[in-house]
Chain A
C-alpha cells in the first residue's frame, strides 16, 4: 500500500459506510414491515376475544393469557395421523418431482435433439393454465380408474381412488416450474465441469451426481422449501378427494376444519355457538405455520452452506 493509494481508499471506505448505513437501516425497516403481520398474529394468540376486539395495530394484550394454547393441548389424537400423512406426502413430493426436475432440467439445458424446443414449449404452456382447469379432470381421472375402488373394467360404478390416500400421492409429480428452474440454473453453470468429468469417463448418472448436484444445491433446497410449504398448506385437493376418509386427511385439511370447529366450540355459551373466536383461530393457524417455518430455518443453514460451497471453486 503506497501513500498515494491510501487517502483514496480511506475516502472510498467512508462513502461505502454511508451508503451501507442507509442500506442497513432500510433493510431493518423493510424486514420489520414484512415480519409485522406475523408477529401480530402470534401476539394475538395470547389475547382473549374481548381483548382482541379492541386491537388496532397491536393486539390489545391487557392480560396475556395462555388459554388458547391450553385448549390446543387438548387436540384430538387424529392430529398425529394428519401430521404423519402430511410428512409422508412432503417427502414423496420433494423426492419425485425433484428427481424429475433435475433429469429433465439437464435434458433441456444441455442436450440437443430434434423436438427439443417444441417439447420445452409444450412444457411451459402447461404452466399458463390456471390450476382450476386441472382440478376437475384430475378428480374425474382418479374416480374412474378401472379396477380400483369398486370400479369395473371401464371405470364405472365405484369411486376409484377417491377417499384413499393414494389420491394424495399421484398428481403433480412432474412439475414444469421446477424443470424450468433447474434448466435455468444449469444454463448458468459453465459446461467445463461436465466436460472434465466426461473426459474422465463419467456416464450421465455420475455426471449428475458428482458435478451438478453439488452446484444445484441452493436451487434444490429452494425447491424443497417450496414443495414442503405447498404440500403442508394444501387444502383444496385433500378437501375434494379425501374428505370422506378421516384417516387420509392431511394437516392442511384437518387443520382448517379444526380451526373453524375450535373457534365455534370455544365461543359457545349456554347452548349457542357463536361467530368465530379469532384468537383461537389464530392459535390453530399459528400451529399450522410453525412446522414450515421451523423447516425453513433448518434448511436455511444448508442453503447457506450450499452457496458458500460454490464460491470456493476456482
Chain B
C-alpha cells in the first residue's frame, strides 16, 4: 500500500474530525441532550426497525438501493410536518429477536418492528396493534399469502413491504445434453421423477437430474422447499388451527417422492451446510432441476448460467398449484409505541403503489400488492414472469409459525427428514415419531 503525504494528511484530518465527534458524543451523552429532558419519542420521532438493506443503503447506496428507504422517509415527513422518521437496522432472525427482547425489557423499543416469521406469537401476547381499520380499503389489493404471517385470530397485525416466492428452475443445457426436451418444465411429479432418473443415468457423475436440499440443525432451508410439495399435495405442515400435521397420509406420499428424487442428487451435495453451494450446482451445469426462490433469476445470470429457465412447480396427481412466500418482509406496530396512529399510517404507507414499485426498481424485491405487481410485470424479464404467475394465480402461503417452541418443532421435522433421506426405515414410523415430538414440544 502506498503512503503519501496526501493520504496521511487526509487521515490526520479524519482522525481529528473523529476525535472531535467522539468528544462531542461523550459529553452530549453524559448530559442527556434531549431538550427539556423529555423522552425522545415525544419529539415526534418515529423509530422504525427495518430490514437490513432498506436501512443500510440509505447511507451506503443513496443513488440506487437507498432510494427506497429515503422515499419512505421523505414522503412520510412531508405528509406529517414536525415528524422525524428514523430507519434503523438491528439485525435479522435471532439477532433481531435478541435485540428486540432486550429493548422491550428495558423500555427502549421502537415504534415499528420488522420480521417475517414471529409476529403471530407477538400478536398472541398482545404486543402488537391490530391494523384492520387501516387496511379496510386496501385489503383486496394485497396478495393473500403475503399477509398471512402477520395475521392472528382473524386480525391483521402487519403489512408487507415486499415478498418473494418459490418457483421451479431448469438448466436446459444439461437437459438437452441428456437428450430430453427442455421447451417446457415437467408437468407432474411422475414426469419429473422419470426425467431426473434418466438424466442422472445419462450423466454418469458429470451431472445429475435434481438437486434436493437436506436438513441442517434447526434451519429452515430444507423444510421451505419440501413444504412447496406438501402444500401441492394437500398435506400442509400445519392444520388450520396451527397444530402439526407431520404424519398425514398424504404427506407420507410426498416423503416417498422426495426420498426417491433425492437419489438423483449429487451425493453429498444435499447435505452440504452451504445452501449457496447446493443451488449453484445447477448454474454450473451439474444439475438439471430444482425448486427455486425468486432471487435465483439474478443469481443464475450472475453465475454464468446461459440457459436457465423458470416455471411453476410440477404437480402431483390431483394436486393444486401451490407455493410458499419467502423473504416476505412484514412491518408491525408495537403497542408500547408512543405514536400508535402515526406508526399505523407509516406501515400503511409501505403498501402504496409507489412504495411497492420502488421496492422492485431500487432493490429488486417483488411487490406484495396486486396492482404494483401488475404494474412492474411488463418490465420484468421473461425469467421472472413465472414467479409473478405463481404469486397471482397459485395458492400461496407462508411457513407455519408454531405457537411455542418453534425451534424444537422444526428440529423434529428436520430430524425426521434426515432419517427419510438417509435410511430406508418405514416412513410412517419416522413421521409418527416426529409428530409425537412436535406435539410434546408444542405443549410448552
A and B touch in the complex (CB under 8 A): yes
Residues of A contacting B53 in the complex (Cβ-Cβ under 8 angstroms): 261, 264, 273
Contacts known (A53-B303, A243-B88, A276-B276); A135 close to B25, Cβ less than 8 A: no
CA distance A160 to B101 in the complex (A): 17
Q: Is B106's CB within 8 Å of the partner chain A?
A: yes
Residues of B contacting A84 in the complex (Cβ-Cβ under 8 angstroms): 15, 18-19, 22
Q: Is B14's CB within 8 Å of the partner chain A?
A: yes
Give the Cβ gap from B20 to chain A, nearest Cβ, in Å: 10
CA distance A240 to B49 in the complex (A): 12
B34 touches A80 (CB 8 A): no
Give the Cβ gap from A120 to chain B, nearest Cβ, in Å: 31
Select one of B18, B59, B107, B108 contacting A80, CB under 8 A.
Answer: B18
CA distance A265 to B297 in the complex (A): 16
Q: Is A81's CB within 8 Å of the partner chain B?
A: yes
Binds B, one of A12-20, A96-104, A149-157: A149-157
Select one of A50, A135, A163, A269 contacting B102, CB under 8 A.
Answer: A135
Q: Is A143's CB within 8 Å of the partner chain B?
A: yes
Binds A, one of B37-45, B169-177, B205-213, B243-251: B37-45
CA distance A144 to B105 in the complex (A): 11
CA distance A247 to B59 in the complex (A): 13
Find residues 256-304 in chain B having any chain A CB closer than 8 Å to their own CB: 276-277, 280, 284, 295, 297-299, 301-304
Contacts known (A136-B102, A158-B34); A273 close to B22, Cβ less than 8 A: no
Select one of B28, B57, B95, B304 contacting A261, CB under 8 A.
Answer: B57
Residues of B contacting A264 in the complex (Cβ-Cβ under 8 angstroms): 53
B88 touches A265 (CB 8 A): no
Give the Cβ gap from B36 to chain A, nearest Cβ, in Å: 9
Select one of B29, B39, B98, B99 contacting A166, CB under 8 A.
Answer: B29
Q: Is A260's CB within 8 Å of the partner chain B?
A: yes
Binds A, one of B75-83, B360-368, B415-423, B431-439: B360-368
CA distance A264 to B57 in the complex (A): 10
A270 touches B108 (CB 8 A): no
Q: Is B232's CB within 8 Å of the partner chain A?
A: no
Residues of B contacting A260 in the complex (Cβ-Cβ under 8 angstroms): 52, 56
Name which residue of chain B comes closest to A243, CB basis: B90
Find residues 307-344 in chain B having any chain A CB closer than 8 Å to their own CB: none
B89 touches A148 (CB 8 A): no
Residues of A contacting B52 in the complex (Cβ-Cβ under 8 angstroms): 257, 260-261
A80 touches B14 (CB 8 A): yes
A268 touches B65 (CB 8 A): yes
B363 touches A273 (CB 8 A): yes
Name which residue of chain A comes closest to B95, CB basis: A239
Of B15, B99, B302, B363, the most chain A CB neighbours within 10 A belong to B302
A149 touches B106 (CB 8 A): no
Find residues 160-213 in chain B having any chain A CB closer than 8 Å to their own CB: none
Select one of A76, A140, A148, A268 contacting B59, CB under 8 A.
Answer: A76
Select one of B26, B88, B98 contacting A165, CB under 8 A.
Answer: B26
Of A50, A77, A88, A240, the most chain B CB neighbours within 10 A belong to A240
Q: Is B47's CB within 8 Å of the partner chain A?
A: yes
Give the Cβ gap from A312 to chain B, nearest Cβ, in Å: 38
Q: Is B9's CB within 8 Å of the partner chain A?
A: no
Contacts known (A80-B11, A243-B89); A164 close to B295, Cβ less than 8 A: no
Residues of B contacting A269 in the complex (Cβ-Cβ under 8 angstroms): 298, 301-302
CA distance A193 to B250 in the complex (A): 81
Residues of A contacting B299 in the complex (Cβ-Cβ under 8 angstroms): 274-275
A165 touches B364 (CB 8 A): no
Residues of B contacting A54 in the complex (Cβ-Cβ under 8 angstroms): 284
Give the Cβ gap from A266 to chain B, nearest Cβ, in Å: 10
Residues of B contacting A272 in the complex (Cβ-Cβ under 8 angstroms): 295, 297-298, 363-364
B95 touches A268 (CB 8 A): no
Find residues 247-270 in chain A having any chain B CB closer than 8 Å to their own CB: 247-248, 257-258, 260-261, 264-265, 267-270
A150 touches B26 (CB 8 A): no
Contacts known (A149-B34, A246-B59); A239 close to B99, Cβ less than 8 A: yes
B89 touches A240 (CB 8 A): no
Contacts known (A149-B32, A269-B301, A275-B299); A257 close to B89, Cβ less than 8 A: yes
Q: Is A162's CB within 8 Å of the partner chain B?
A: yes
Give the Cβ gap from A241 to chain B, nearest Cβ, in Å: 9
Contact with B along A155-181 (1 / 0, CB 8 A): 011111111111100000000000000
B298 touches A150 (CB 8 A): no
B298 touches A240 (CB 8 A): no
Give the Cβ gap from B112 to chain A, nearest Cβ, in Å: 14
Give the Cβ gap from A207 to chain B, nearest Cβ, in Å: 35
Of B32, B38, B57, B360, the most chain A CB neighbours within 10 A belong to B32
Q: Is B21's CB within 8 Å of the partner chain A?
A: yes
15 A-B contacts, Cβ less than 8 Å apart? A81-B18, A84-B15, A88-B22, A148-B29, A160-B108, A162-B108, A257-B89, A264-B53, A265-B60, A269-B302, A272-B363, A272-B364, A273-B53, A273-B364, A275-B276
Q: Point out residues on B near A: beta carbons under 8 Å.
A: 11, 14-15, 17-19, 21-22, 25-26, 28-32, 34, 37-40, 47, 52-53, 56-57, 59-61, 64-65, 86, 88-91, 95, 98-99, 101-102, 105-108, 276-277, 280, 284, 295, 297-299, 301-304, 360-364
A-B pairs, 9 with minimum CB distance: A164-B29, A272-B364, A84-B18, A272-B298, A80-B14, A143-B106, A150-B34, A140-B106, A81-B18
| 14 additional contacts (CB under 8 A) given A54-B284, A151-B32, A273-B65 | A80-B14, A148-B32, A150-B32, A150-B38, A150-B40, A162-B108, A239-B90, A240-B98, A247-B25, A261-B52, A265-B57, A271-B360, A272-B295, A274-B299
